[in-house]
Structure formats: C-alpha cells, structure tokens
Structure 1
C-alpha cells in the first residue's frame, strides 16, 4: 500500500506498506477529484498507453471490506506500478460524506496481484451503496504519475454485521446491563385507533411487520425481520411497567409466559443509543421452528433462556420466573402473531413522551459505549 502525503501532488512516501491486503489507514488515502472519465489531479499526467481496467468484479463483500478485480489489455501492463480506486457513496458521487471529513475517497494502492482487498471502517459503512472506478498508473522518477483513463463505474452494496460483529456488540451491551429485576408481562403501547383497527380488520390478532431502520446501521434485522415490538422494563420502585409511553396512551399487557417459554428461542439483535445517556438492547423472541426463528439462526447470536445478561426465563418450584436487565431499555421483537385475547388492553394514566420514541432513530456513531470498530 502506498502512503502518499496529503498535498496537491501525490509524493513519494516515507514508509510504503508492502502488503495491499492489510488494513488501510488514514495515511493510505489521497484525495483526487475525478471529473468525467480522466484524472484532473495536479501533477498527474495522462498517458493513453496504459491499459484501462474493464470487466470489474466485486466479491467477498462484508460490512467494511470487499475484494476487487478486473481485466486489462496486455499493452504496457508491465509499466503499471499503482492502482487508483475511486470510491463514493452512491447517493452523491461528487461529495465526501464519510465520518471523518478529512478522509477522501481515492485509494492509491501498489499494483499487487488481483483480486485485491479494500478494507477500512472509516470510509466503508455497512448496508450502504457505493460506486467504484479504477485507473492504472505508472509512478515516475520525479514522484508524479502517468495514468490511464478511468474504467467504467460499478455499483455495489456492503453487507450487514456478521454474527462475529454482533457478538462484539453484545459483549459491550453485557458490560452495562446491570442487575436483573423481576417482571411478569410484556407490553405494547399504541394509540386507541391501532387496537380498534386490529379488532376490526385482523380479528383481534396483531400481525408481524418489518422492523424499522432504528438502531445500528449494520444490524441484519433492520427492515428485514418481521415481528411485533414489545417492552418489558419495569419501574424500580413498583416492579410494574411505567405509566408513561412514547407510542400512545393505550397498552396491551401479555403474560410473559405466553411469549417467553422453553418453546421459544432468544436472540441478540442490536445495541445502540440516540445521542442520550439511555442505551437500548434489541432482543428477538422466536417460537422454535417458526420463520422468524430460521431467519435469526442464520444471522444473530443465540442466548441461553436461563443464563444471559438481558432477559431470562427460569423454572422454579412455583412455575416460570422472568427477569430483565435494569440498566438498559429492552426492545423485544416477537416474530409470530399475538392475539389480544392473551392479555388486556387498557388506557395508561401517564404521559405520552414522544421524545423517547425509537421509531427510525439514528444511532450515535461517536458513542464509545455502543459502537464497535467496524463500519458504523
């Protein structure tokens, strides 16, 4: 990997890295504006003899890396010393919207055997569409480059967090979960019109729907997993659900054993905050063998029902006993339909606190408590 200085010219590096497939760093990147099909960099000359990359292929895509390869005409191939890779978020190819504003999109790499790995969480985000184009270049004795024309522009999308990434996120959540408190019901807050609609159009059965885009951008459940959102946190002094709600003044309370029992699998889904001191943990409850269970098995870390830091179900002499973590706000997604007749619907006496709503909430990418060192 070439390590150019950040100046108007791409200069000879002080300490080149010998292996392109190692992680990129801030010093590995030099900004080069691209207008049309040819480079306009000061100090970079155009040379038609260098082969133009074509038939670009993107493979092995993760949330913060990908492999790239291409074909080239053999003409002057032995003169190529470097590749220029122009990487841009698809929504605006001419702007630089990365987390660090001083990080440009042009990657300058030594000409190594293809495919070549591009990796770096400061300029690659999960589940994000990008465009990429490539030039070949030949470094001259004076430090300047001659370059080919730009290749065609290719589009691709990065992946979600893997189970490995989610396990790292889960471990950070475990560190702040706090002691466990008893609870007895799962509850869902909505407006009266919601429950009237369920009774009239769905025979009083709440149906799963796709999860919104709140939380970590890389969470594989966002906009993909279908379920019904419940809460289970209780007030410390009463042991009962809070009387305030961000989602509406009506609440259905379902006995915990109806949704959480030995026939249910439990998964960790996400950990995030919204620029506040509150941290949220998303868990998934999926009846064994259900479509939601199959979805989660492939993508999410599974938790022991009786031994985890967030939500437990244990068998005691008088039946099932349930506990939830005190110091995080739990959002529990149940992946099957739920009949209102399993519980009770009633109006709460507290306030509707809209400021606490997590609907499509964006995660704070700078929080050290709930972020991991991969694409945000």
Structure 2
C-alpha cells in the first residue's frame, strides 16, 4: 500500500469557536501525515432537531459541503444560511482526491453540537435601516396603554400589590433579536387612530386597558433602544423598542447589544421638551408601523387608570405571542440567518 492510499485517521477533538449568528470556525486534530496529504474536507451540518442517525449512508460521498483543505481553524459561513440561536450538529471527514477523481476518505468524526448566536450590533443596524424606511410620518400621542384580561389586573392587585412586574420577553419576531428570552419588561402600545388621535377601540389582548401618561415612560431619564423589525405574513410591520430607565439593569443589558436611538430625533418614538414655560412636552409615534414598546422596569397601576375598552376585543390568536417572523419578506429581513 502506497502512502497516498494509506487509510486516513478519523478527525478527533473537534472544536467550534468564534460563533456568530451566521458563521463559526472549526478545527480538529489530524496526524502530521494526514495534514500534509489531505486535499479536501467533507463537512456535514444539520439542525439538531432534524438529526438523523443514519444520514451518512454513503461514507465516501460528501453529504453537505466539500471544502478544499485549508489551515485550521477553518471559517464556515454562507454555505447553509445559518439561523441565529439555533442548535446544530456537525461532523467531519478528511479526504484525499485521487488521480481518477475519486476520494480516499477517513471515517466520520464524532458529532459535535453547538448553538449559533444572537444578531450582533451590525446586524441590528441593518434591521434598523430597513425599519426606518417603513416608519412613515410622526403622529402626536399622549398615553401609553396596555390591554389585558380582567384576570391579569386582578392578579396584579391581589398578588403584586398593584405593581405590573417585568416579564421575560418571548421569542416572537426575529429569531436573532438579543432581547428574546433574555430581557424582562412590561409591554405597552402607543399607536393611535388616524381620525381620532386616540388609542384604537379594539385590542387582541383583552377588554381592559391600562393607560398611563406618556411622560411617565418617555422622558429625559429614559434611554431608547431599537430591538426588532418584523412581520407575520401580513402587509403591516412591527417595530420593537425598549425604554430603559438610565442606569438600571435593563439599560446596561441593552447598551452593549442594541442600537440606541436619540429620544428627540428618530423615526419611531420621540420626546420634545417644552419650548416655553407652561407648555407640555410633545410625544410622537411612527404612523406606518405597529410599535411594541417594552419598558424595562415595573409600572404601578396607581400611575394610570384601568378602563373597559369601547370596542370588541378580538381573538387571542391575533396577538403576537411567540409569533414567527416571515422569512420570505423582502421588507424586514436582512442578509444573515432568519
């Protein structure tokens, strides 16, 4: 048996590093002899939940990707359109291409599992740039509001002393948003109807509405962050913003992960200080997107009022809880994994 035809050792000690939302670097151990003669790597990558133990039916046929042998660690990006926050499993074969075009291959390595990351700041900036194009003109508003069922407000009064405590953000919207499943807050709306300038009469979240003066949540002691832009197979789009009191835990979390917006000048939600004595601040919201505003702190019912809405609340199925983003929408998707 010639050196070229000698069996290749099985890749071992696989390590994954520098993982982002859509890329990673991979390395493994090979003998010096194999390193010198390997011409290609065969890489099999699949989502963990879809892993099939019999996926390597033909051990000498590359199942996913053939890459020319390069010094390790090797960067892997773009080939599979990796999704953020997704568990994957990967296995490696090394190979030597023969003069007749066939490959001499090693055994498949052990399967290694890893999880991709959240959107980085650069990805969120891409998403923010897209959201700016859909925001529309600014409209004045005066209150933030939160609709829920009577049971929710009864629980807040009975068990929480009237304090609406921050809850963990669900996984709705873009899968890579850094706040999903990590940031606590209380969601509010502020969109108004064109004809009245008031909150809409209907709500998919429940028949009772808590209203609070805009100034309680939006003022110079608050930092404003952009967190997401998405749709759910519909013509209208959602923008998720975070209002975090300066210096709080929520503010510290957002500062390193989300683009900060200027309170007085941005396309989504603005605060304008009074220009003259006796005047009130002016608050404005974007007209052509639905704003979901996460206040990263507790809010007491005594700061506002709970009232019955005048319209008919709609089915809960119309809410956005854990709703999945439309991956095919050209308006709200960016060039990295969904």
TM-score where L is the length of structure 2: 0.93
- 1:235-254 residue CA offsets vs partner (Å, 9 max, x unmatched): 00000000100000001001
For residue 338 of structure 1, the aligned residue among 275, 279, 299 is 299
Aligned with 1:284: secondary structure?
strand
Q: Is the 8 A contact 1:121 1:373 kept in 2?
A: no
Q: Give the match for residue 214 of structure 2.
A: 256
Q: Give the match for residue 107 of structure 1.
A: 65
- 1:105, CA displacement in angstroms? 6.2
Q: Is the 8 A contact 2:81 2:336 kept in 1?
A: no
Q: Is the 8 A contact 1:52 1:73 kept in 2?
A: no
* Alignment partner of 1:325 is 2:286: yes
* Alignment partner of 1:367 is 2:329: yes
Q: Give the match for residue 268 of structure 2.
A: 310
* Alignment partner of 1:244 is 2:205: no
* Alignment partner of 1:214 is 2:172: yes
Q: Give the match for residue 45 of structure 2.
A: 87
Unaligned runs of 5+ in 2: 54-61
Q: Distance between the aligned counterparts of 2:21 and 2:9, measured in 1?
A: 31
Unaligned runs of 5+ in 1: 1-46, 96-103
* Alignment partner of 1:144 is 2:105: no
CA separation of 1:356 and 1:368: change in aligned 2, threshold 3 A: same
Q: Give the match for residue 353 of structure 1.
A: 314
Q: Distance between the aligned counterparts of 2:259 and 2:230, measured in 1?
A: 16
- 1:349, CA displacement in angstroms? 1.4
Q: Give the match for residue 56 of structure 2.
A: none
Q: Give the match for residue 57 of structure 2.
A: none
Aligned with 2:324: secondary structure?
coil
CA separation of 1:343 and 1:174: change in aligned 2, threshold 3 A: same
Q: Distance between the aligned counterparts of 2:214 and 2:89, measured in 1?
A: 47
| Aligned pairs, number | 322
Aligned with 1:261: secondary structure?
coil
* Alignment partner of 1:133 is 2:91: yes
Aligned with 1:331: secondary structure?
strand
* Structure-to-structure mapping, 1:149-168, within 5 angstroms: 149-168=107-126
Q: Distance between the aligned counterparts of 1:361 and 1:48, measured in 2?
A: 54
- 1:17-61 residue CA offsets vs partner (Å, 9 max, x unmatched): xxxxxxxxxxxxxxxxxxxxxxxxxxxxxx771122111111110
- 1:195-227 residue CA offsets vs partner (Å, 9 max, x unmatched): 000000000000001001100011011111100
CA separation of 1:173 and 1:121: change in aligned 2, threshold 3 A: farther
CA separation of 1:161 and 1:313: change in aligned 2, threshold 3 A: same
Q: Is the 8 A contact 1:312 1:324 kept in 2?
A: yes
Q: Is the 8 A contact 1:269 1:282 kept in 2?
A: yes
Of the structure 1 ranges 346-355 and 360-369, higher mean CA displacement relative to structure 2 is found in 346-355
Runs (4+) off by over 3 Å: none
Aligned residues: CA RMSD: 1.4
Aligned with 2:50: secondary structure?
coil
* Alignment partner of 1:300 is 2:258: yes
Aligned with 1:281: secondary structure?
strand
Of the structure 1 ranges 262-271 and 133-142, higher mean CA displacement relative to structure 2 is found in 133-142
* Alignment partner of 1:120 is 2:78: yes
CA separation of 1:48 and 1:190: change in aligned 2, threshold 3 A: farther
- 1:228, CA displacement in angstroms? 0.4
Q: Distance between the aligned counterparts of 2:35 and 2:125, measured in 1?
A: 44
Aligned with 2:250: secondary structure?
helix
Q: Give the match for residue 279 of structure 1.
A: 237
Q: Is the 8 A contact 1:312 1:322 kept in 2?
A: yes
- 1:122, CA displacement in angstroms? 4.3
